[in-house]
Amino acid sequence: MRNQDQWQPSKYVIKSGKLQASSDSNQVSIPARVSINPTASVLEYALKTYASGRLLDLGCGKVPLYQTYRSLVTDVVCADWSNSIHGGAYWDLICDLNTPLPFAEGYFDTVLLTSVLEHIANPQDLLHEVYRLLKPGGRLIANVPFLYSLHEVPWDYYRYTRYGLSHLSNNSGFHVEYLVETGGVVDVVTLLTLQSTYRRSLSPLFSIAYSVISPIIENRFVRMWQTQSTPRYPLGYVLVAQRQGL
């Protein structure tokens, strides 16, 4: 990873010992915090449980999860494509993830695809390529949105269900070890309402609204409802899939 000594948190921060959305509106819009927070805790668990060895962060942007995985792995390689809106200060490689990647077979222990797979024109081809890059027993760690607005258009191609993610993973030779929905109906309604009305020029007003809404979303009784609604109305998914074979 280039310039790792200059790395700064962006999308995610660690607060009170937990990974969560940044409160810096230059990094994360107020509506996006609604989706990032439920995803953060699940991603943090997946990384701490499954990340190891040499890690490839594909579609890495500002490498927002570096603070979580850096102590868990031995080496980090960062790659993204030239159309990324997130700059390239930390990238080792600029490449199109829709094409074969210039690494040897079995070179990595872990491949990270966070909020990337929905932007890939031919996702099955990329998963075949990730499988090739991983050592036997190596793991893909990914997350994708489901009930979420269009973003980074025109490169926003797909929304996946858990069944679609399992199908793509199995077709590429992976064994799905962990596949969890994030968020629930209250998160979805809040997110889509804020996204459809959010105006950066009125950010202070939205900040006040979010400060009122956030405790309601975090209320334990609301969270019980969220848990029940998550399978049918998820914000997204976190996936861990292992390469099989010797």
Per-residue pLDDT reduced to its tens digit, 147-200: 999 999 999 999 999 999 999 999 999 999 999 999 999 889 889 988 888 877
Q: What are the structure tokens assigned to 214, written together?
A: 């956030």
Q: Give residues with Cβ within 8 angstroms of 155, minimum separation 6.
A: 83, 119
Mean pLDDT score, 2-11 = 95
- Write down the pLDDT at residue 36: 94
Residue 110 has pLDDT above 90, yes or no: yes
- Can you give the residue ranges of every domain in the chain? 31-184+235-243
| Rounded percentage of the chain residues whose pLDDT exceeds 90 | 74
pLDDT-derived band at 133 (thresholds 50, 70, 90) equals: very high
- 5-14, 20-29, 165-174: least confidently modelled range: 20-29
Mean pLDDT score, 71-75 = 98
Cβ contact 102:93 at 8 Å = yes
Q: Which of 189, 174, 54 is nearest to 123 (CA)?
A: 174
Mean pLDDT score, 39-60 = 97
What H or E segment, with its residue span, contains residue 237? strand 236-243
Per-residue pLDDT reduced to its tens digit, 194-238: 888 887 767 778 777 778 888 877 777 777 777 788 999 999 999
- Write down the pLDDT at residue 198: 83
Q: What are the structure tokens assigned to 85, written together?
A: 């809106």
Q: Which CATH superfamily is domain 31-184+235-243 in?
A: Vaccinia Virus protein VP39 (3.40.50.150)
Residue 87 has pLDDT above 70, yes or no: yes
User: Is the pTM for the entire model greater than 0.75?
Assistant: yes
- Indicate the average pLDDT of the chain: 92
Q: What are the structure tokens assigned to 170, written together?
A: 């199995």
pLDDT-derived band at 246 (thresholds 50, 70, 90) equals: low
CA dist 103 and 95 (Å) reads 11
Residue 245 has pLDDT above 80, yes or no: no
User: Which burial class, exposed, middle or buried, applies to 201 when counting CB atoms under 10 A from its CB (0-12, 13-18, 19+)?
Assistant: exposed
